[in-house]
Chains A and B, each alone.
Chain A
Amino acid sequence: MILFDEVVKRYPGDYVALAGVSFEIRHGELVVLSGHSGAGKSTLLKMIPVIERPTEGAVKINGQDVSGLRASAIPYLRRNLGLVLQESRLLFDRSVFDNVMLPLVITGHPPRDAARRVEAALERVGLSGRDREMPAGLSGGEQQRVAIARAIVNRPSILIADEPTAHLDTAYASEIAALFKSFNEAGVTVLVSTHDESLFARYRPRRLALSKGILVGDSA
Chain B
Amino acid sequence: MMNWLGLHGRAALQAMRRLLRQPLGTVLSALVVGIALSLPAGGYLLLDNVATLARGVSGTPEISLFMIQEAAEEQVRGIEQRLRRESGVASFRHVPPDEALRQLAQSGLGDVLGGLPGNPLPHAFVVTPRGDDPAVYEALEARFGEWDGVEHVQLDSAWVERLHALIGLGKSAVLLLAGLLGFALVIVTFNTIRLQIMTQRPEIDVSRLLGATDPFIRRPFYWFGSLQGLLGGLVALGTVWMTVEALGGSVESLATTYGAVFVLSGPGALETVSILGFAAFLGWLGSAISVRRHLAERLR
Q: Are both chains from one complex?
A: yes
A145 at the interface (CB under 8 A from B): no
Distance, CA A72 to CA B300, complexed state (A): 9
> Which among A6-14, A99-107, A204-212 touches the partner chain?
A99-107
Could you tell me if A150 and B210 are in contact, using CB atoms closer than 8 angstroms? yes
> Which among A59-67, A75-83, A173-181, A187-195 touches the partner chain?
A75-83
A36 at the interface (CB under 8 A from B): no
> Which among B24-32, B92-100, B185-193, B211-219 touches the partner chain?
B211-219
Contact A75:B213 (CB < 8 A) given known A91-B206, A106-B207: yes
Residues of B within 8 A of A108 (CB): 3, 6-7
Please give the distance in Å from B208's CB to the nearest CB on chain A. Answer: 8
Please give the distance in Å from B272's CB to the nearest CB on chain A. Answer: 35
Residues of A within 8 A of B300 (CB): 71
Write the B1-43 contact mask toward A (1 if CB under 8 angstroms, else 0).
0010011001000000000000000000000000000000000
Please give the distance in Å from A96's CB to the nearest CB on chain B. Answer: 14
The residue from B6, B210, B213 contacting A102, defined by CB atoms under 8 A apart: B210
Distance, CA A164 to CA B6, complexed state (A): 34
B209 at the interface (CB under 8 A from A): yes
Tell me how many residues of B have a C-beta within 8 Å of chain A: 19
Residues of A within 8 A of B115 (CB): none
A26 at the interface (CB under 8 A from B): no
Distance, CA A78 to CA B290, complexed state (A): 26
Please give the distance in Å from A133's CB to the nearest CB on chain B. Answer: 18
Please give the distance in Å from B1's CB to the nearest CB on chain A. Answer: 12
Residues of B within 8 A of A167 (CB): none
B203 at the interface (CB under 8 A from A): yes
Contact A106:B3 (CB < 8 A) given known A71-B300, A91-B206: no
> Of residues B202, B205, B209, which shows the largest number of chain A Cβ atoms within 10 Å of its Cβ?
B209
User: Which residue on chain A has the smallest CB distance to residue B6?
Assistant: A108
Could you tell me if B206 and A79 are in contact, using CB atoms closer than 8 angstroms? no
The residue from B6, B205, B211 contacting A103, defined by CB atoms under 8 A apart: B211
Distance, CA A199 to CA B300, complexed state (A): 37
A89 at the interface (CB under 8 A from B): yes
Please give the distance in Å from A9's CB to the nearest CB on chain B. Answer: 18
Distance, CA A95 to CA B203, complexed state (A): 13
Residues of A within 8 A of B209 (CB): 49, 51, 78, 83, 85, 89
Distance, CA A90 to CA B83, complexed state (A): 84
Could you tell me if A103 and B203 are in contact, using CB atoms closer than 8 angstroms? no
User: Which residue on chain A has the smallest CB distance to residue B207?
Assistant: A106
The residue from A71, A77, A102 contacting B206, defined by CB atoms under 8 A apart: A102
Could you tell me if A106 and B210 are in contact, using CB atoms closer than 8 angstroms? yes
Distance, CA A91 to CA B201, complexed state (A): 10
Contact A91:B202 (CB < 8 A) given known A75-B213, A78-B211, A102-B210: yes
Please give the distance in Å from A23's CB to the nearest CB on chain B. Answer: 24
Could you tell me if A78 and B210 are in contact, using CB atoms closer than 8 angstroms? yes
Distance, CA A103 to CA B210, complexed state (A): 6
Give A contacts to B, CB under 8 Å. Answer: 49, 51, 71-72, 75-79, 83, 85, 89, 91, 102-103, 105-108, 150
Question: Which 8 A-B residue pairs are closest in the complex by CB-CB distance?
Answer: A79-B211, A78-B211, A75-B211, A75-B213, A103-B210, A108-B3, A106-B212, A89-B206
Given A72-B214, A106-B212, 14 other A-B residues pairs in contact with their CB atoms under 8 A: A49-B209, A71-B300, A75-B213, A75-B216, A77-B211, A78-B209, A79-B211, A83-B210, A89-B205, A91-B203, A102-B206, A102-B207, A107-B211, A108-B3
Identify 29 residue pairs between A and B in the complex whose beta-carbon atoms are under 8 Å apart, listed by A's number. Answer: A51-B209, A71-B299, A71-B300, A72-B214, A75-B208, A75-B211, A76-B211, A77-B211, A78-B209, A78-B211, A79-B210, A83-B209, A83-B210, A89-B205, A89-B209, A91-B202, A91-B203, A91-B206, A102-B206, A102-B207, A102-B210, A103-B210, A103-B211, A105-B10, A106-B210, A106-B211, A106-B212, A108-B6, A150-B210
Give B contacts to A, CB under 8 Å. Answer: 3, 6-7, 10, 202-203, 205-214, 216, 299-300
